[in-house]
Structure 1
Amino acid sequence: MSNTQPLAGHVVVVGGGVSGLAAAHFLLEGGAARVTVLESSGRLGGKLYADEIAGVPVDLGAESILARRPEAVDLARAVGLGDDLEAPATTNAGLWTRGRLRPMPKGGVMGVPGDLGSLAASGVLSAAGLARLPLDHVLPRTKVGEDVAVGAYVAARLGHEVVDRLVDPLLGGVYAGNAYEISLRAAIPQLYEGARGGRSLIETVRESQRKAAAARQDGPVFAGIRGGVGRLPVAVAEACRSAGARIETDAPVRTLRRTPDGWEVAFDHDGTRETLAADAVVLAVPAPAAARLLAAESPGAATELSAVEYASVALVTMAFRRREIAHALPGSGFLVPPVDGRTIKASTFSSQKWHWSGAADSDVYVLRTSIGRHGQEADLAWDDTDLVRLSREDLGEAVGLTAAPVAARVTRWDGGLPQYPVGHLARVTRLREHVAKLPGLEMCGALYEGVGIPACVSSARGAATQVLGTLRRAAEPGAGQ
């Protein structure tokens, strides 16, 4: 933490996920005098959750960080986890589609192909689907308007097979959403800009890849943390407490009220109602909770927040005896196109993807599956035992895994991932315009700049920077006159 001269202010951060804790960290680093973090659940970390299965550490939520964006990696280093950052042991993922496991084509951007040779060799598309691709170069250069769905635009240029068997599973892995609903502008901005210029989509992908290669830094694209990415929020919380922050769990905020001097935050804790006076507030909670808290102070912001939809997913984590797995499983795992009608949407072979996981116990092999996405959550009605059974059935068909697990855990993330439909960025802009009318209030989280960990950390830094600016202006001579 910084030795910056403390500002005369108290900031309450509502939400103890990685966004809220990162915001608290940046506030303290920037010299905020007092910071209080209030988390409604009994655990810090939100969608980052490290635990164990059969004695092996595992992530029961997000399990990797986009390392090419520096924000999350820098935060991990700042809180003492730099030596525990680790690249995947393998990133060789596949696609389970059209009846077999196939290699992921190279040279694409979120499934939109750029290397047609690799795509043809993978066998992911039919002969008719491959024949459709060269038409992209001769079609009229149709420009997009303000926004368009990824699936609609890509299908118009390259055909529905590309969307259904390549783009949809990759976007689903990030957003747990549907490619035909997700915003091109929000989810794949580099392709959106190319589309606005009217270029061939395949050429836009190739140009994006060339730019990425030219700007490429040393090091892996993705990173994990030994023992699990879920260690990150715990370490951030420890650093914040060491810097003097008050952090409470089981402390749901009930009301948020503007006062002449700032904000009044009322929350429940240890069976009593407590009220805090704050000079500024950072809301780092999902849209439904934020809408409830802002309903009285900003009905416009609450209306925008109430319109945000979320996807629910379940992660099924299983541990097997290595000696009972008949043959080596391929690569780091595989994605499953929803069009194939399987229960699972993906599987990660954790003990192969992460060296630390595989080395934890030489006789235990850990993998996990994911189930559910926006608009396709019916399978989540099954109980945990059935989700394990259905996952095993799909794994048996995909990779021939017939062993029985020695342990299994089902983690349900109800309303876990905000959706980014067409018009999402315009909604965020309107929301920020409403919030700007409330001095001392900032918002951060997966809703605003992206659902990945670096985007959440970036959002948190932006909120903290705005709050610190507000406190500094209030501290200037004559500010209160």
Structure 2
Amino acid sequence: MQRSQQRAETPPGHVVVIGGGIAGLAAAHRLVATGLRVTLLEATDRLGGKLMTGEIAGVQVDLGAESMLARRPEAVALAEAVGLGDRLQPPATATASLWTRDALRPMPKGHVMGVPGDPAVLGEVLSPEGLARIAEERDLTPTPVGDDVAVGAYVADRLGREVVDRLVEPLLGGVYAGDAYRISMRAAVPQLFEAVKEGGPLLDGVRRIQERAAARQQTGPVFQGIAGGIGTLPAAVGDAVRAQGGEILTETPVLGLTRTETGWAVRTDTRTITADGIVLATPAWSAGTLLAAESPAASAELSGVEYASMALVTLAFRRTDIEAYEALSGRSGFLVPPVDGHTIKASTFSSNKWQWVADAAPDLFVLRTSVGRYGEEDHLHREDEELVAVSLRDLAAATGLTARPVDTEVTRWIGGLPQYPVGHLTRVARIRDEVAKLPALRVCGAVYDGVGIPACIASAHRAADEIASEIIATPTLVRGTGSEAGQ
């Protein structure tokens, strides 16, 4: 009986989560469910990171990420857990195109991130010379991949540059805003990396991937959105964290972390908070700065992570002004290969893709373009009006659209996406090895296990579970009461 009372009176461990993007929020949500005390600190005045809604012509739309992979369970499960299950929606249309070789061409089917299993699907995208180059692959000597290899370099070596430049590059660029000739195959397309390690022609490896996927008989949509915008998810997760007793503080930048005899001291701009555990859910440069004193090796690795910046240009048109443009009908949007020399890298026809956008504004047609890739970020220094103008110019060239928008919104994401060059997963392993030497501290977010929303949530759950296990298994860590000093 005395032991039972002693356990009940022991204060729960206190975990501070630093960073209020979807990874930090998911970590906090996971931690409060274990009974631990949680304080989430976010430097800016809002939660969500790259998940954000805003208004265009009075209509709420996503100004950041707009969809999440539904074939992975983490994001859909979190949305359901915080009461958004009835608002999950698949795209109303997923008929995308490629704007290449001076025309909008149907997106080929039957490929793995642009790498085909059957070259016949590329007939409208590649030139006859490009198709002939693919046919040469069976006569080539094997291309070694070692511990890792760049997606673009490997595919170009096997199938020719045209496959990379006109299909792999825009698809990978849509995910990473990066350069396919630098992006790690092992990190970005792991199923392809495992297939090519098995040996044999690349086309055969892609077909094996497709056969295994068919054997799993996955059903349901590949992607999901949320009515009202993916950007509504962070607020719902934040509300759920608070409802379970968690504390969330915005406009609270963390200036330093210091180990103490019983845990950690977290120094903000106004006070110091004691904690038994820390989850660092910040971009690499911020995590590196905070770990500089306690883990110089991890800090140095994090400082080497590069980022790409981009801008989203959201445009609203009157439907009566765009009815003549057949290229806008029935499509979810289009991707743009960099090799074609245009400014925009993609356009999403939001009113076609998401039924909730069409329902919210039946008299409007909302679309958006994206501008900026890794190493090509000069465009982001232009004024908003210039970015709108270049977007309209490229839209006119691609679709014939010459109507003028009734409203525009430019959103810049500076340092928005971490880059995954060759060797990235080895770098991540080194970071985690160094961080694991610190008591009850873990890292999570887009840097480590993938840039998509489900991957960020999975990374957060891993960090939260490891922290909870360590604190619960080590009673000496559970001494802090979340006290504050320096107020």
TM-score, with length taken from structure 1: 0.95
Structure-1 residue corresponding to 2:204: 203
Q: Equivalents in 1 of 2:139, 2:151: separation in Å?
A: 20
1:11 to 1, 8, 15: 15
Q: Is the CA contact (8 Å cut-off) linking 1:343 and 1:391 kept in structure 2?
A: yes
| Change over 3 Å in CA distance of 1:478–1:43 after alignment to 2 | closer
The corresponding residue for 1:105 is 108
Contact between 2:19 and 2:42, CA under 8 Å: does it hold in 1? yes
Q: Which residue of 2 aligns with 1:58?
A: 61
Which position in structure 2 is the counterpart of 1:85? Answer: 88
Determine what percentage of the aligned residue pairs are the same residue: 62
Runs of 5+ in structure 1 lacking a partner? none
In structure 2, the CA distance between the partners of 1:477 and 1:400, relative to structure 1 (3 Å rule), is closer
**Residue 297 of structure 1 aligns with which residue?**
294
Q: Tell me the equivalent position of 1:236.
A: 237
1:47-446 to structure 2, matched below 5 A, reads 47-120=50-123, 123-268=124-269, 273-325=270-322, 326-328=324-326, 329-330=328-329, 331-446=331-446
CA pair 198-479 structure 1, distance change in 2 beyond 3 A = farther
Contact kept, 8 Å, 2:195 with 2:208, in 1: the verdict is no
Q: What's the CA shift for 1:472?
A: 1.0
1:53 offset after TM fit, Å?
0.9
Residues 7, 105 of structure 1: CA spacing in aligned structure 2 closer, same or farther, 3 A cutoff?
farther
Q: Post-superposition shift, 1:153?
A: 0.3
Deviation track 1:53-75 (CA, whole Å, cap 9, x = no partner) reads: 11212100000010000000000
Work out whether residues 18 and 41 of structure 2, in 8 Å CA contact, stay in contact via their aligned partners in 1. yes
- Spell out, residue by residue over 1:372-401, the C-alpha distance to the aligned partner (whole angstroms, 9 max, x if none): 011111111211110000000000010011
Q: Does structure 1 conserve the Cα–Cα contact (< 8 Å) formed by 2:75 and 2:457? A: yes
Which digits, 9 at most, give the CA deviation of each residue in 1:17-70, with x for residues without a partner?
Answer: 0000000000011221x1000000111000000122112121000000100000
1:448 is paired with a residue whose SS is helix
CA separation in 1, counterparts of 2:158 and 2:47? 44
In 2, distance between residues paired with 1:288 and 1:409? 28
* Cα displacement string for residues 117-136 of structure 1 (whole angstroms, at most 9, x for unaligned residues): 2211xx21110000011222
- Displacement of 1:8 in angstroms is 1.7
Moved more, 178-187 or 202-211: 202-211
> What does the per-residue CA deviation read over 1:252-308, in whole Å, with 9 as the maximum and x for residues that have no partner?
00011111100000112xxxx111000000000000101110100010000000000
C-alpha distance in 1 between matches for 2:217 and 2:282: 34
SS of aligned partner of 2:171: helix
- 3-state SS of the aligned residue for 1:12? strand
**Aligned partners of 1:361 and 1:151: how far apart in 2?**
41
Q: Is the 8 A contact 2:150 2:182 kept in 1?
A: yes
Find the residue that maps to 1:300 and give its secondary structure. helix
Note if contact 2:14-2:478 (Cα within 8 Å) is conserved in structure 1. no
Cα displacement (A) at 1:88: 0.2
Cα offsets for 1:309-356 (capped at 9, x unmatched): 000000000111110002241410000001111010000000000000
Q: Is the 8 A contact 1:143 1:198 kept in 2?
A: no
The AA in structure 2 aligned to 1:204 is G
Counterpart secondary structure, 2:136: helix
Contact persistence 2:276–2:477 (CA under 8 A) = no
Give, in angstroms, the shift of residue 7 of structure 1: 7.0
| Matches of 1:27 and 1:81, distance apart in 2 | 20
Offset, 1:422 = 0.4
Letter of the structure 2 residue corresponding to residue 10 of structure 1:
H
Deviations, residues 223-264 of structure 1 (Å, cap 9, x unaligned): 000000001111000000111111011110001111110000
For the 8 Å contact 2:11–2:479, the answer to whether it is kept is: no
**Which residue does 1:25 correspond to in 2?**
29
Aligned residues: 469
Cα distance, 1:142 vs. partner?
2.8
How far did residue 476 of structure 1 move? 8.3
Instruction: Determine helix, strand or coil for the equivalent of 2:12.
Output: strand
Query: Is 1:7–1:475's contact at 8 Å kept on the other side of the alignment?
Result: no
Unaligned runs of 5+ in 2: 1-7, 481-487
1:7–1:472 contact (8 Å) kept in structure 2? no
Q: What per-residue deviation string (whole Å, max 9, x for no partner) do you get for residues 64-113 of structure 1?
A: 01000000000000000000000000111000011111011110000111
Tell me if structure 1 keeps the 8 A contact 2:52–2:230: yes
The 1:467–1:7 alpha-carbon spacing in structure 2 relative to 1, beyond 3 Å, is farther
- Measured after TM superposition, the shift of residue 143 of structure 1 is 3.0
Shift of 1:194: 1.7
SS of aligned partner of 1:145: coil
| Letter of the structure 2 residue corresponding to residue 113 of structure 1 | P
Shift of 1:474: 1.6
* Cα displacement string for residues 349-368 of structure 1 (whole angstroms, at most 9, x for unaligned residues): 00000000011121111000
How far does residue 403 in structure 1 lie from its aligned partner after superposition?
0.8
Distance in structure 2 (CA, Å) of the matches to 1:384 and 1:250: 26
Letter aligned with residue 179 of structure 2: N
Question: Would you say the 8 A contact 1:61–1:230 is kept in 2?
Answer: yes
**Matches of 1:412 and 1:211 in 2, distance apart?**
39
**Counterpart contact for 1:143–1:197, Cα < 8 Å:** no
Asked if the contact 1:318/1:366 (under 8 Å) is kept, the reply is yes
**Distance in 2 (alpha carbons) for counterparts of 1:22 and 1:216:** 29
